[in-house]
Amino acid sequence: MRGLKILDFGEDLRSAEECGCGFRHERTLKNILIGPIGEALEVLEDLGLKPPFAVFYDPLTRNIAGRLVEEKLGARGVLIESPTFREAEEKLGEAGGAKTILGVGGGTVIDAAKYAAYRLRSDFIAVPTAPSHDGMVSPIVSLFLEGRRKSILARSPRAAIIDLSILRSAPGDLIASGYGDILAKIVSIKDWQLGRDELGEPYCETAEKLILGSLNELIDCLVDKRSPLGCLEPLVRALVNSGAAMMLVESSRPASGSEHLISHYLDMALGRRLRHGIQCALGTLAMAAYHKLKNPNWWRGGRYDPEAIRSYVSMAGAPSDLREAGIPIEVMRRAIARAWRIRPKRYTILHKFKPDEEDAAEILKHAKLV
């Protein structure tokens, strides 16, 4: 079809046997459809995605694209209003009987739809309306349970529909959030390597290559164009590849380290919610500085130096210090000192050294966050 590109995902990735990492390289994701949503919907059955359909959306994303999906596919509409497992569980009945479930929206909607598809054993299609996070094709569901964010392993989508015209019109803070979530991989990969080198944790070089290749492409574009919108396609590729890396190892380990734990703490501690990727960007600045201080195997060269990361964060339109983000210093100090307790078995730089609040104050100074 004119204007629609259908990509077979992962054909050039090494198999589990070729990689030798010990992970089984799950390959649920088959197709990436890039182009107008209306055209993409016309080829779903040709790709083996069958009716009846259900579509999840929130009040905003229903108007952006959810109603189009509903009408074009004759899909049952399911409205999501809160980012909780309780609501996702309650909506299972409304989606019951659907062979294919689509999630049209941001993180909350996509994760709720992903959860429903997993529980109902339906195929799932992600239809992001903003490039705000790397969960669009990951197998991870992250929603709130009793006031705390909880992540579980579900299953990646069978396909993703990427309409760049819709993503381009997303609010700037959502786009900045996507950049922050990708820049976070500079730290999360090093935290994973700590687990590999010090605890013998399994490690997948194919997943690492998938993430770092698209991360570097995105940084090159951002430095060249200094425009978040000018690098939208590399951003989307990086978000997809990060989610796919999690799919390969069936864990968030490649894409979520100490910087994400800090974000999870902020979710609980702040009286308001900042965008996930913006919190991760601030956590990345803090943890990159901490790694550079304490980890002799921190990245060589200047590309991933904390000061360089700060410049990328600013180019992406995200805040690069606590004052600009509106985060109290004492809250961030507690986040650095306590975030490791959220996932005590995920080994990171925070788990290795367990800084106290006095250490955290020094980290914030080194990171130039205060």
Per-residue pLDDT of the chain in tens (370 residues, 90 and over written 9) = 568 999 999 878 899 999 999 999 999 999 999 999 999 999 999 999 999 999 999 999 999 999 999 999 999 999 999 889 999 999 999 998 999 999 999 888 999 999 999 999 999 999 999 999 999 999 999 998 887 888 999 999 999 999 999 999 999 999 999 999 999 999 999 999 999 999 999 999 999 999 999 999 999 999 999 899 999 999 999 999 999 999 999 999 999 999 999 999 999 999 777 999 999 999 999 999 999 999 999 999 899 999 999 999 999 999 999 999 999 999 999 999 999 999 999 999 999 999 999 999 999 999 999 9
- As a whole number of Å, the CA-based R_g of the chain is 20
Helix (H, G, I), strand (E, B) or coil at 56: strand
152: left (phi over 0), alpha (psi -120 to 50) or beta: beta
pLDDT for residue 192: 98
Domains of the chain: 5-168 (3.40.50.1970), 172-366 (1.20.1090.10)
**CA 70, CA 81: separation in Å to the nearest integer?**
18
**CA 138, CA 369: separation in Å to the nearest integer?**
30
pLDDT for residue 1: 55
Chain centre to alpha carbon of residue 278: 12
The residue type at 349? I
pTM over cut 0.85: yes
* DSSP secondary structure, 207-230, as one string: HHHHHHHHHHHHHHHHHHH--TGG
- Cis preceding-peptide flag for 202 (omega within 30 of 0): no
Angle at 231 between CA 226 and CA 236, to 5 degrees: 145
Cα torsion 166, 168, 171, 177 to 10°: value is: 110
pLDDT for residue 2: 63
Q: In which residue are the tokens 């989307």 written?
A: 236
Q: Is residue 77 a contact partner of residue 71, using CB atoms and an 8 Å limit?
A: no
Candidates 175, 245, 249; CA nearest to 212 is 245
Crossing angle of helices 172-183 and 276-294, in 10° steps, is 30
